[in-house]
Amino acid sequence: AVLRSIRHGVPFFSHSFCGAQARFTSSAYSELDNNARQGNRSGSVATPPSHLDSTKRIDVNPPKGTRDFPPEEMRLRSWLFQNFREVSQLFGFEEVDFPVLEAEALFIRKAGEEIRDQLYGFEDHGNRRVALRPELTPSLARLVMQKGKSLSLPLKWFAIGQCWRYERMTRGRRREHYQWNMDIIGVTDVTAEAELLSSIVTFFKRIGITESDVGFKISSRKVLQEVLRRFSIPDGLFGRVCVIIDKLGKISIDDIKSELRSAELSEEAVEDLLQILSLKSLNELEVKLGASAEALFELKQLFSLGEKYGYSDWIQFDASVVRGLAYYTGIVFEGFDREGKLRAICGGGRYDKLMSTFGGDDIPACGFGFGDAVIVELLKDKGLLPELRQQVENIVCSLDGNLRNAASSVAGRLRERGQSVDLVLENKPLKWVFKRAERVNAKRLIMVGSQEWEKGMVRVKNLGTGEQYDVALHDL
Amino acid sequence: AVLRSIRHGVPFFSHSFCGAQARFTSSAYSELDNNARQGNRSGSVATPPSHLDSTKRIDVNPPKGTRDFPPEEMRLRSWLFQNFREVSQLFGFEEVDFPVLEAEALFIRKAGEEIRDQLYGFEDHGNRRVALRPELTPSLARLVMQKGKSLSLPLKWFAIGQCWRYERMTRGRRREHYQWNMDIIGVTDVTAEAELLSSIVTFFKRIGITESDVGFKISSRKVLQEVLRRFSIPDGLFGRVCVIIDKLGKISIDDIKSELRSAELSEEAVEDLLQILSLKSLNELEVKLGASAEALFELKQLFSLGEKYGYSDWIQFDASVVRGLAYYTGIVFEGFDREGKLRAICGGGRYDKLMSTFGGDDIPACGFGFGDAVIVELLKDKGLLPELRQQVENIVCSLDGNLRNAASSVAGRLRERGQSVDLVLENKPLKWVFKRAERVNAKRLIMVGSQEWEKGMVRVKNLGTGEQYDVALHDL
């Protein structure tokens, strides 16, 4: 039975059995580790043989596709989130959040989006269909509808939330990621999209990414709408066509064509569509659509605003960008790495009609989502990952078992003055304390020894300079 | 059919049908609202009749028992979390996190804990039993086992994570809350518990709560263990007995007695146990257990450390405290409001044996959980809720539609200098802008008008003093 369970659990790697513990160690921000781990993970067979006799050892790994955040990974996540927050606030946005669990109906649209197939849905104990959210926008729309007239438009909201997708394929992708969203609700003008792009550029600059590393491809769904209208294709098909076109570059051109045909587009419409999608400049687009097209007007305005903001070098028109979500209606954009090695870094656009699909009154809106995974890959590739160490101001220890209580009161005193303290909680040799001080990156070591203590003093060692001196308690 | 669905969905409140939208408005940190809402919520019938003709209006509320965090609620949550973080870091703790979704087995223990009945578990698409975590400690233990020897003990870790409980009863409790945890892994000494208590006291003081508002009841499970040993009751029953005793005050004394009897405790043992549990001083305990009992030694040491830290007035011995989790083995404590109006504010203790129940090697450990709900109720009762408003440094608008792009570049310039800006994105009358400035709590209004712009200047109004002046762009 043991052998069989191992066989079942580890079908591809015969070597993954001995020493598996070490290799299973997860790394929240390492895509490569996850890829490597893909084959030899299982929920049930991590029990090494040595434990079969005693209590069954649990699987010490997080569920497949999810991450732990031990301190070193958490520091990176906090640094990233802090930058998301600071940039959002620099732009006058307010933070919001929604439940990670929502009614499944909120996420189900009839456009064949990838997101629907990957919904992490289940039935709760009350027989309601619920799902771990795959994205934040529908919840935002729901909250805006709930608050209704009590809200003063425009809203500028941001959120940083965990999103879930149940990926059936083993592509080394995770089942959860954190996503930074910024949304502007109540502004019709393309000035809103320009602000959003400006905030992402600000974020990139702040973490050391330049326009030679990344760019934004920008288009408008109104370009497609124009083509569909010419061929009298019903508006109801619009979302579905966009979702198909988003697969450009992911599936073959022939498959795209046949999907478009099965969405009842004529051969001629398909060809015209694909030709338009290949355009890479607004001049070509103008030739194709005519100077009076609404799509063209908005795109020109956006590029002109980009100049004023100073991010012209970051943006380019690319008609092939449509994004994979059914609800976008106007400008769409995505951030990409110029080396072309990674998936889209972020993406967004205008979604003026989302609320009516929920039975509410439409409010103009646009926003973007920016995941926490691809950006970390990019920072790694560019050697831009920050070195983040723990930091405490003081490490406090007693030099004598009898003075442990005294050390506690010294720690309390320092903390009352806002100084962080790692207090040594057991009797340890000074050698151990120095090693610990190094690990926690303490600036000062404070030793409570009986000779000094009798005089109301403690010995302080500046761990940067090595300087050592005695200080009265009340001067600490 | 309409009438029937309304009847089914709103069985108790005949008035909850008209104007339901307004009353449904959720408030993340209002327990009362949630209580009031208990009866008239349903996942499927929030559609008001006016929408039956058009697209079905979705339920605009978050799923039952969950919360949205619109900006005003989010500010409170962020303030709370910021205080959790700052206190944890003051004590030299590092932040960690774990997946909100874990293998269900991680949370299932055989002691009849309330937590087990309330597990938010389901089967994922891969037929694995998973659960939204009801607490953070098992994940922490799992991660510690995974990291094994690569960790340098002691660990001082904190986490702030969302936890889920599927409450079947309609008690006005939520199904999710955020929990602040601090844990010390690798310290046998009661100095660890003393540190944890000190950090909670520091948190309370920081947010304005005093020892006249709250206190800690402290005991040790070793007290119970001592009694059980005297009556030769097997160690395996220990967790179960603790879980029963934790119901003191929640169910009747007679029910407790009968539960204890069905756990095969003799009449005599039950009486002795209940007598011990009524003790409120260490002196009485010493009379009962004898001066050499291990439980007594640790408790005395903890109270003596409390004096050194300066929180003696916050703590009291109370043998009836055992906490409801099966895994505690030593000191246990809970924070309570002295008016006795609220549920426990926080709770924790020592859990030296948790890892062996997972098939790993035991490491001494202790920690606490501190929820985000009861503390907010307490702050409200005491009038201590902070007033938190949005804050931006500048609101920027153009006085002329032609200068909208100019306003964008002014905003960009300010943000590059680290100044936050709410940019007015559409042509709005100045009256509207002033109202907006008031709402976003801007310090300065910056107006881009053509006369000043031609001279490379903008008009600035200090919104605190009302003072108004022109400033050159490069001096902004």
Q: Test B439 with A189 for CB contact under 8 angstroms.
A: no
pLDDT digits (tens, 9 = 90+) for A247-280: 888 899 999 999 999 988 899 999 999 999 999 9
Please report, for residues A109, A413, A449, A468, B404, the alpha-carbon distance to residue A461 in angstroms, rounded to integers and kept in the order given.
Answer: 64, 18, 13, 4, 58
Beta bridge partner(s), residue A248: A251
Q: Test B21 with A423 for CB contact under 8 angstroms.
A: no
- ipTM of the predicted assembly exceeds 0.85: yes
Q: In the structure encoding, which two tokens stand for residue A413, read together? A: 């005193």
pLDDT digits (tens, 9 = 90+) for A40-59: 333 333 334 444 445 789 99
Q: Which residues of A touch B401 (CB under 8 A)?
A: none
- DSSP 8-state secondary structure symbol assigned to residue A59: P
Q: Test B154 with A425 for CB contact under 8 angstroms.
A: yes
Please tell me which of the candidates B78, B124, B408 has its beta carbon nearest to residue A191: B408
Q: Which residues of B touch A415 (CB under 8 A)?
A: 90-91, 202
Evaluate if residue A121 carries a pLDDT over 90: no
Please tell me which of the candidates A57, A142, A305 has its beta carbon nearest to residue B408: A305
pLDDT score recorded for residue B37: 32
pLDDT score recorded for residue B15: 31
A351 is in an annotated binding site: no
Q: Test A187 with B125 for CB contact under 8 angstroms.
A: no
Beta bridge partner(s), residue A396: A423, A446
Q: Which residue of B has its CA nearest to A57?
A: B359
Interface test with A, best of B21, B55, B60 (most A CBs within 10 A): B60
| Virtual torsion, Cα B287, B289, B293, B294, nearest 10 deg | -110
Q: Test A146 with B97 for CB contact under 8 angstroms.
A: no
- For chain A, positions 395-454, list CB contacts with chain B under 8 A: 395, 404-406, 408-409, 412, 415, 418-423, 425-426, 436, 439-440
Q: In the structure encoding, which two tokens stand for residue B255, read together? A: 């029910």
Identity of the amino acid at B128? R
pLDDT score recorded for residue A54: 56
Please tell me which of the candidates A78, A98, A408 has its beta carbon nearest to residue B305: A408
Q: Which residues of A touch B422 (CB under 8 A)?
A: 91-92, 156
Please report, for residues A327, A362, B423, the alpha-carbon distance to residue A365 in angstroms, rounded to integers and kept in the order given.
Answer: 11, 9, 16
pLDDT digits (tens, 9 = 90+) for A141-185: 999 999 999 999 999 999 999 999 987 655 557 899 999 999 999
Shortest distance between the Cα of A57 and any Cα of chain B, in A, equals: 4
* Average pLDDT over every residue of A411-434: 96
pLDDT score recorded for residue B469: 96
* Average pLDDT over every residue of A199-224: 97
pLDDT score recorded for residue B344: 94
Cβ–Cβ contact A57 with B under 8 A: yes
Evaluate if residue A425 carries a pLDDT over 60: yes
Q: Which residues of A touch B404 (CB under 8 A)?
A: 191
Q: Test A101 with B60 for CB contact under 8 angstroms.
A: no
Q: Which residues of A touch B359 (CB under 8 A)?
A: 47, 51, 54-58
Please tell me which of the candidates B67, B142, B419 has its beta carbon nearest to residue A60: B142
pLDDT digits (tens, 9 = 90+) for A52-97: 445 789 999 999 899 999 999 999 999 999 999 999 999 999 999 9
Are the beta carbons of B437 and B389 closer than 8 angstroms?
A: no
Are β-strands A442-448 and A392-398 bridged in parallel, bridged antiparallel, or unpaired? parallel
- For chain B, positions 193-212, list CB contacts with chain A under 8 A: 194-195, 198, 202
Dihedral angle sign, alpha carbons of residues B129, B134, B138, B142? positive
Please tell me which of the candidates B69, B92, B122 has its beta carbon nearest to residue A421: B92
Shortest distance between the Cα of A449 and any Cα of chain B, in A, equals: 16
Nearest alpha-carbon partner for B165 in B138, B123, B133, B139? B133
Cβ–Cβ contact A19 with B under 8 A: no
Q: Give me the domains of chain B, ranges plus CATH numbers.
A: 71-382 (3.30.930.10), 392-472 (3.40.50.800)
Instruction: Count how many pairs of residues, chain A against chain B, have C-beta atoms within 8 Å.
Output: 295
Q: Test B425 with A191 for CB contact under 8 angstroms.
A: yes
Are the beta carbons of B338 and B370 closer than 8 angstroms?
A: no
- For chain A, positions 322-341, list CB contacts with chain B under 8 A: none
Give the relative orientation of helices A294-309 and A221-230 as an angle to the nearest 10 degrees.
Answer: 170
pLDDT score recorded for residue A472: 96
- For chain A, positions 61-80, list CB contacts with chain B under 8 A: 61-64, 66-71, 74-75, 77-78
pLDDT score recorded for residue B127: 86
pLDDT digits (tens, 9 = 90+) for A384-414: 999 999 999 999 999 998 999 999 999 999 9
Are the beta carbons of A60 and A23 closer than 8 angstroms?
A: no
- For chain B, positions 149-168, list CB contacts with chain A under 8 A: 150, 152, 154, 156-157, 162, 164, 166, 168
pLDDT bucket at A239, cuts 50 / 70 / 90:
confident
Please tell me which of the candidates A58, A97, A152 has its beta carbon nearest to residue B439: A152
Please tell me which of the candidates B92, B102, B405 has its beta carbon nearest to residue A63: B102
* Average pLDDT over every residue of A302-330: 94
pLDDT above 90 as % of chain A: 71
Q: Which residue of B has its CA nearest to A197?
A: B412
A422 is in an annotated binding site: no
Q: Is A46 helix (H, G, I), strand (E, B) or coil?
A: coil
A137 is in an annotated binding site: yes
pLDDT score recorded for residue A125: 81
Q: Test B96 with A69 for CB contact under 8 angstroms.
A: yes
Q: Test B142 with A202 for CB contact under 8 angstroms.
A: no
A296 is in an annotated binding site: no
For chain B (length 476 residues), average pLDDT per consecutive 10? 32 30 54 37 38 72 94 98 98 98 91 80 86 96 96 97 81 85 97 98 98 98 89 86 88 92 90 91 92 92 95 96 91 97 96 95 98 96 96 96 92 96 96 97 97 96 97 91
Shortest distance between the Cα of B280 and any Cα of chain A, in A, equals: 25
- Omega before B71 cis (within 30°)? no
Give the list of residues 6+ apart from residue A69 with CB closer than 8 angstroms, or none.
Answer: A28, A77, B96, B97, B98
Cβ–Cβ contact A358 with B under 8 A: yes
Question: From CA B109, how far away is CA A339, in angstroms rounded?
Answer: 51
Greatest C-alpha distance within chain B: 95
Are the beta carbons of B228 and B262 closer than 8 angstroms?
A: no
Say which residue, A353 or B25, is predicted with more confidence.
A353
pLDDT score recorded for residue B54: 56
What is the phi/psi pair of residue B12, to 5°?
-110, -25
pLDDT above 70 as % of chain A: 88
